[in-house]
């Protein structure tokens, strides 16, 4: 059979990794796909690097629209990133009847509904394994491997940069800025690293996982996002002493009154597998009613790990290219006309447990007043530590049982107004993952 023809948009870290993997493993990939997969044209805004690799072997230019309109091309790989031009090119490729493979989580988290609707109408596939957790086949697992289950929750470390930063801060006591610079040098960070450290990149990925797990439309605008920029070394140390590690988690949970969709730092018990995922590695735990908890672990960023997912998508598309579009796996795991309209809960309505730290005058009655405020809001304490700071001043750390966030916020506000409390209350959520 003749090769399937691929056009590559973008030739950065993942683009060149994709070319390397596809070339190195060409024979095995063809045996799996049923035919060869051939990159026949490359377009990038800055073609110099691609030109130096391909020379005269392939057309390489900056005509992105020309590539997505090229009648010879069956599949477009979108690796230019960003939202504006990428959206335009993906929509044009779909309109031209091309299948699309993309690693662009930001694009799908924001415009996925429009993109999947257009693709369904045109009968083309939009595959995005590389958009979530790099090389880990988490999309395939949720969309196909776990289809028997009613999924209850998904929780994961889905940003390598922040996990690398938190690991280095904990293990080597290094400051945040030093480790961020190192992550950028190693190529883990997004072009705009604020997407990593503010939790936006993880929220893009979590939004897609929530849609796949619960069969809901893509709703990035409803996600609660809190990054690691305000995290203090002191809390990493306290967490460690209490038997926890702080991780930036993406969590989505089915609740009776809606779905939780949230990204934030969280204390995770140190003995949990997720707490032991270090460096730029990613891991996702999925809890289904039939299977229980399953864990997926691997490289979440980098050239060839991400290329592994891109090429897997290329093989899938190649295998299914000639099938009836109505019989293909739906983009979001559920049939488009069967997506549910379930409410995403505001952060004040989520339920979890909490770590609270604040500074008080060390005198009689202080703890009694604090615990009364918590009791009045039905917030139950699971552990408490007092540490002498200076003469007459102490740090109090309280761990709570599960409580409603809105109640915890009100309690924090009341604690902060007590005359003997000399700092704001640092609040970090805790996830026992059980």
Tokens matching residue 66: 């020309």
Note whether 120 binds ligand HSE by CB under 6 A. Answer: no
Smallest distance, Å, CB 317 to ligand HSE? Answer: 21
Q: What are phi and psi of 411, to 5 degrees?
A: -65, -40
| Shortest CB 193 distance to ligand HSE, Å | 8
- Binding status of residue 161 toward ligand HSE by CB under 6 A: yes
Minimum distance, C-beta of residue 266 to ligand HSE, in the bound complex (Å)? 17
Q: Which residues on adjacent β-strands are paired with residue 250? A: 156, 263
- Element containing residue 238 per DSSP (H, E): helix 233-241
* Pairs from 89-95 (Cβ < 8 Å, separation ≥ 24): 89/9, 89/64, 89/65, 90/115, 90/126, 91/115, 91/118, 92/65, 92/68, 93/68, 94/118, 94/119, 94/122, 94/124, 94/126, 95/122
CB of 159 to ligand HSE, least distance (A): 4
Q: How many residues bind ligand HSE (CB under 6 A)?
A: 11
Question: 139, 344 in Cβ contact below 8 A?
Answer: no
| Catalytic entry in 205, 247, 253, 377 | 205
Pick between residue 207 and residue 318 the one whose CB is nearest to ligand HSE. 207
> Per CB under 6 A, does 374 bind ligand HSE?
no
250 binds ligand HSE (CB under 6 A): no
CA distances in angstroms from 330 to 117, 211, 287, listed in the order given: 11, 12, 21
Among 138, 179, 301, 339, binds ligand HSE (CB under 6 A): 301
Write out the two tokens for 236.
Answer: 């990493």
Interaction between residue 296 and ligand HSE (CB under 6 A): no
- Pick from 16, 102, 120, 159: which binds ligand HSE (CB under 6 A)? 159
Shortest spacing between CB 51 and ligand HSE, in angstroms: 26
User: Three-state SS for 395?
Assistant: strand
Residue 82 vs 97, nearer CB to ligand HSE: 82
Q: Is 188 in the site for ligand HSE (CB under 6 A)?
A: yes
Site mask, ligand HSE, residues 251-290, x = CB under 6 A? ----------------------------------------
Q: What does DSSP say about strands 37-43 and 4-9: parallel, antiparallel, or unpaired?
A: parallel
Residues in the chain: 434
Under the binding rule (CB under 6 A), the answer on residue 198 touching ligand HSE is: no
Question: How many other CB atoms are there within 10 angstroms of residue 306's CB atom?
Answer: 26
Least separation in angstroms between residue 285's CB and ligand HSE is: 17
Tell me whether residue 49 is one of the annotated catalytic residues.
no
Regarding 333 and contact with ligand HSE (CB under 6 A), the answer is: no
Is residue 257 classed as helix, strand or coil in its secondary structure? coil
Which residue from 157, 143, 156 is spatially nearest to 213, judged by alpha carbons? 143
Does residue 300 touch ligand HSE according to CB under 6 A?
yes
| Residues in contact with ligand HSE by the rule CB under 6 A | 134, 159-161, 188-190, 196, 201, 300-301
Q: Which residues are catalytic?
A: 205
């Amino acid at each position: 059979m003749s090769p399937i023809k691929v056009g590559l948009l973008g030739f950065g870290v993942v683009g060149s990794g994709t070319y390397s993997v596809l070339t190195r493993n060409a024979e095995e990939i063809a045996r799996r796909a049923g035919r060869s997969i051939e990159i026949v044209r490359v377009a990038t805004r800055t073609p110099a690097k691609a030109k130096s690799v391909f020379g005269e072997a392939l057309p390489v230019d900056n005509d992105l629209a020309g590539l997505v309109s090229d009648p010879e091309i069956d599949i477009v790989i979108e690796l230019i990133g960003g939202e504006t031009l990428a959206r335009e090119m993906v929509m044009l490729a779909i309109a031209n009847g091309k299948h699309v493979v993309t690693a662009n989580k930001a694009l799908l988290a924001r415009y996925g509904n429009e993109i999947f609707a257009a693709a369904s109408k045109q009968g083309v596939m939009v595959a995005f394994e590389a958009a979530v957790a790099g090389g880990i086949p988490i999309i395939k697992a949720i969309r196909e491997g776990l289809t028997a289950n009613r999924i209850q929750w998904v929780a994961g470390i889905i940003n390598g940069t922040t996990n690398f930063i938190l690991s280095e801060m904990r293990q080597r006591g290094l400051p945040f800025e030093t480790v961020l610079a190192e992550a950028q040098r190693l190529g883990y960070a997004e072009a705009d690293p604020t997407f990593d450290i503010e939790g936006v990149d993880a929220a893009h990925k979590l939004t897609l996982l929530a849609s796949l797990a619960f069969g809901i439309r893509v709703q990035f605008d409803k996600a609660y996002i809190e990054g690691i920029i305000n995290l203090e070394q002191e809390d990493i140390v306290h967490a460690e002493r209490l038997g926890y590690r702080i991780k930036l988690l993406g969590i989505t949970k089915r609740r009776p009154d809606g779905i939780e969709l949230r990204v934030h730092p969280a204390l995770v018990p140190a003995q949990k597998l997720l707490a032991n995922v270090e460096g730029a590695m990613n891991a996702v735990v999925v809890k289904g009613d039939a299977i229980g908890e399953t864990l997926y672990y691997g490289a979440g960023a980098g050239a060839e790990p991400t290329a592994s997912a891109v090429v897997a998508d290329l093989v899938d598309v190649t295998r299914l290219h000639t099938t009836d579009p109505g019989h293909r796996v739906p983009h979001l795991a559920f049939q488009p006309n069967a997506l549910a309209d379930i409410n995403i809960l505001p952060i004040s309505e989520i339920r979890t447990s909490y770590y609270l730290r604040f500074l008080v005058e060390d005198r009689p009655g202080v703890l009694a007043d604090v615990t009364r405020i918590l009791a009045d809001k039905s917030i139950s304490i699971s552990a408490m530590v007092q540490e002498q700071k200076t003469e007459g001043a102490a740090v109090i750390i309280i761990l709570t049982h599960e409580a409603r966030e809105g109640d915890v916020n009100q309690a924090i506000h009341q604690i902060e107004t007590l005359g003997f409390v000399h700092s704001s209350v640092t609040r970090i959520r805790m996830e026992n993952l059980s």
